[in-house]
């Protein structure tokens, strides 16, 4: 059933093709469609398009629908086109023609726009919260293992001494920059498009500032044409922010799979967190991190996919935009799962002590020996040559002690400073404002 249908029905094949997977994607938006409608009808009453009694009855029924969505009792009927139509049909079945009044002064276009923004805002909050927890775990592990040295590599060749404090801390700080881009995405999403209608506004004297406040948005997308143009752009910006987190997790996962390898043998995990082989009884495979790596690499491709899908689209709404949901919506859930699984694994990691006592790592300390000579007054180039000749002659002697004291080095991790950056950033998200606004709408 299509609420826009007049006298001529679409060919069945056309209908199936144009609807595609949109019904499945609409399930993500269902609770947010109700929330958007609750704000919209409150605004309609304020401008005289609904009576107080009509508003009260519509609010009651919308809240009942919301409760049914949360407990899984909401069903999108087979003959109903989308979630927006289903909600209006339920209201009409319960309240008669009053149910049809909720669509005054809006279009399905800006109805979808506000649903998507409310959904993305909610998902970003969940992801930022998960990233913040992972950050705290990485910082904790950094402090715990700050005196555990491990080889540092360049070109996958032995380079200089590193530490697990540095390693864990590096990924913690990487997440700070990732959250910075998530904040930018959140700020883009946290603007109200409702009231743009089909992209050119409404002749009704709607109060867009009112719905902005009711929905907890920071501000409006003021220009109604840009509100529509923002669809595709907002999704791409969110996808890019996700890709940054994904890149951090993918690199972390690659490190872990190397470090767990028997030729490295730097770390281990409980047997129940690894998988075995059907024919090799000794195997303990890092499948979790391999799948995190692959999932995250796929997420890293998402911004480019969205960019290509929206390339050369003129202003205004186009059905192409429908397909953006199919890549982005599941990716948000995948991202949350990858963060949770990474945290589970990192929380149970065991780190090997005294790795660098193995003689095969002795050349890691060549720079330390060069620096000792420089401190003794020898020019750096001469010190470099002297140590190099000793190595070639097999006369290299070294001490495994390291004395790095500058900011961000083995002996001075600056975890407190990195934590300060994250906490300042995390507190800049207006999560409380948003949650209180939604809570008031549903009260």
Higher confidence at residue 27 or residue 279?
27
Higher confidence at residue 399 or residue 22?
399
Higher confidence at residue 284 or residue 352?
352
Q: What is the mean pLDDT of the chain?
A: 93
Query: pTM (2 decimals)?
Result: 0.92
180 and 266 co-located in one domain: yes
Taking the C-alpha atoms of residue 403 and residue 369, their distance in angstroms, rounded to an integer, is 12
R_g of the chain, CA atoms, integer Å: 28
Strand (E) or helix (H) holding 233: helix 224-260
- Model confidence at 251: pLDDT above 50: yes
Q: How confident is the model at residue 291 (pLDDT cuts 50, 70, 90)?
A: very high
Taking the C-alpha atoms of residue 52 and residue 50, their distance in angstroms, rounded to an integer, is 7
Taking the C-alpha atoms of residue 395 and residue 14, their distance in angstroms, rounded to an integer, is 79
Taking the C-alpha atoms of residue 433 and residue 190, their distance in angstroms, rounded to an integer, is 11
For residue 243, tell me if it sits in a domain: yes
Q: In the predicted model, what is the mean pLDDT of residues 51-58?
A: 98
Please count the structural domains in the chain: 2
Q: In sequence order, what are the residues at sequence separation of 6 or more whose Cβ sits closer than 8 angstroms to the Cβ of residue 256?
A: 267, 286, 289, 345
Query: pLDDT (tens digit, 9 = 90+) per residue, 345-355?
Result: 999 999 999 99
Task: Say how many CA atoms lie within 13 Å of 42 toward its Cβ.
Answer: 20
Per-residue pLDDT at 77:
87
Residue labelled with tokens 């059905």: 319
36 and 143 co-located in one domain: no
Q: In this structure, what CATH number is given to the domain that contains residue 73?
A: 1.10.275.10
- Model confidence at 343: pLDDT above 60: yes
Per-residue pLDDT at 22:
67
Per-residue pLDDT at 250:
98
Higher confidence at residue 164 or residue 7?
164
- Residue 227's domain comprises 109-354
For residue 192, tell me if it sits in a domain: yes
- Model confidence at 365: pLDDT above 50: yes
82 and 211 co-located in one domain: no
Query: pLDDT (tens digit, 9 = 90+) per residue, 394-417?
Result: 999 999 989 899 999 999 999 999
- Neighbour tally for 114: CB within 10 Å: 29
Query: pLDDT (tens digit, 9 = 90+) per residue, 63-80?
Result: 999 999 999 999 888 888
Strand (E) or helix (H) holding 191: strand 191-192
Residues 94/68, Cβ–Cβ less than 8 Å: no
Where helices occur in 280-430 by DSSP H, the ranges are 287-309, 324-347, 366-375, 380-393, 415-427
């Amino acid at each position: 059933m299509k609420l826009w249908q007049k006298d001529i029905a679409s060919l069945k094949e056309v209908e199936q093709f144009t609807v595609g997977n949109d019904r499945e994607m609409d399930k993500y938006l269902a609770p947010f469609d109700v929330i958007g409608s609750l704000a919209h009808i409150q605004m309609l009453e304020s401008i005289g398009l609904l009576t107080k009694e009509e508003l009260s009855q519509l609010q009651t029924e919308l809240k009942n629908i919301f409760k049914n969505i949360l407990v899984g009792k909401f069903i999108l009927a087979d003959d109903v086109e989308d979630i927006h139509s289903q909600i209006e049909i339920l209201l009409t079945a319960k309240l008669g023609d009053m149910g049809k009044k909720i669509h005054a002064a809006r279009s399905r276009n800006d109805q979808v726009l506000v649903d998507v923004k409310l959904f993305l805002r909610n998902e970003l909050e969940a992801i930022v919260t998960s990233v913040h927890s992972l950050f705290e775990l990485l910082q904790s592990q950094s402090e715990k293992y700050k005196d555990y040295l491990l080889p540092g590599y360049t070109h996958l060749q032995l380079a200089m001494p590193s530490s697990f404090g540095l390693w864990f801390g590096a990924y913690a700080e990487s997440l700070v920059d990732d959250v910075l881009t998530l904040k930018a995405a959140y700020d883009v999403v946290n603007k109200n498009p409702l009231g743009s209608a089909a992209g050119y506004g409404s002749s009704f004297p709607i109060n867009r500032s009112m719905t902005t406040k009711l929905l907890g948005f920071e501000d409006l997308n003021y220009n109604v044409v840009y509100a529509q143009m923002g669809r595709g752009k907002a999704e791409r910006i969110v996808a890019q922010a996700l890709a940054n987190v994904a890149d951090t997790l993918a690199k972390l996962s690659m490190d872990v799979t190397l470090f767990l390898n028997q030729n490295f043998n730097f770390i281990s995990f409980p047997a129940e967190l690894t998988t075995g082989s059907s024919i090799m009884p000794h195997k303990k495979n890092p499948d979790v991190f391999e799948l995190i790596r692959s999932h995250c690499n796929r997420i890293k491709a998402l911004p480019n996919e969205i960019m290509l899908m929206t390339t050369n689209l003129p202003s205004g709404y186009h059905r192409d935009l429908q397909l953006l949901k199919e890549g982005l919506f599941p990716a948000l859930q995948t991202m949350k799962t990858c963060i949770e699984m990474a945290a589970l694994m990192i929380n149970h990691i065991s780190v090997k002590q005294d790795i660098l006592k193995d003689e095969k790592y002795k050349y890691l300390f060549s720079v330390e020996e060069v620096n000792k000579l420089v401190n003794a007054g020898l020019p750096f180039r001469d010190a470099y040559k002297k140590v190099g000749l000793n190595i070639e002659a097999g006369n290299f002697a070294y001490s495994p002690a390291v004395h790095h004291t500058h900011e961000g080095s083995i002996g001075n991790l600056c975890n407190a400073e990195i934590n300060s950056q994250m906490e300042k950033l995390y507190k800049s998200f207006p999560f409380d404002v948003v949650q209180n606004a939604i809570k008031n709408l549903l009260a």
